[in-house]
Structure 1
Amino acid sequence: MNLHTYCKSCKKDIKIKSNASTRPDLQMEKGDEFNVNCQNCGKTEKKHVNDIKAEPNNLVILIGVGIGIIATFFLWIYFGAIGSISLIIPFLFWQQQASEIKSFNSYMIRRK
């Protein structure tokens, strides 16, 4: 899951570097409001935790696809057609990402 917000002056996305999986975790890590620096225009803005949005990390989904293809290949050799069930692995990675994103974006922190 990638976290991002937008710059008010140039309207470009700003990526937030954090491993927080929920909004309260992000709040504990960075505080209610924190400064972000736009890499495009160089402006520094103060953003509230609720202004941060989550989006899927395509790298994780691609890793799931790779693992699924490799597992299907080896299981097909040893078990035959039953090995094709491992094609569900990328779907599991995608489903996990979607549930994390939904839980992050749906929970809001009360503004003070």
Structure 2
Amino acid sequence: MIRKSIHKIAATAFVRSAMAEQADLSAFKEKPSLKIILGLLAIMVSYIIGWPAVAALGFLAIHLHEPLVVIVGGPLTYGLSHLVFLLGMYLCGAVYSLIFLRWLTRVSMEKLLAWAER
């Protein structure tokens, strides 16, 4: 059943084109534009203001004996981190994500097909 599913997935147009074109990561060798660098920085900042900032607010709430700091500030900070992440993804664009996804698909399916045909 698993082997049959692997072959069914391998028959999709996306997987076939990724494997036929030998999708690789050569596009990452090019120098990134300022927009892409800013997008990557925004994504990194979003991780910093995500859970670490919420944890810091929790520590602050305990230290100040004021639970509203984390009750209100936690969701707001976490929501802000999502917005910054989305900004980073917008600036980076879907191009690099698609390049990476095609490469990952090709590599994964080659390994799965080799296992399925044993």
TM-score for both structures, normalised by structure 2: 0.38
| Larger Rg over CA atoms | 2
Relative contact order higher in (CA < 8 Å, ≥ 6 apart): 2
Q: Write 1 or 2 for the structure with the bigger share of strand.
A: 1
TM-score for both structures, normalised by structure 1: 0.40
Q: Write 1 or 2 for the structure with the bigger share of helix.
A: 2
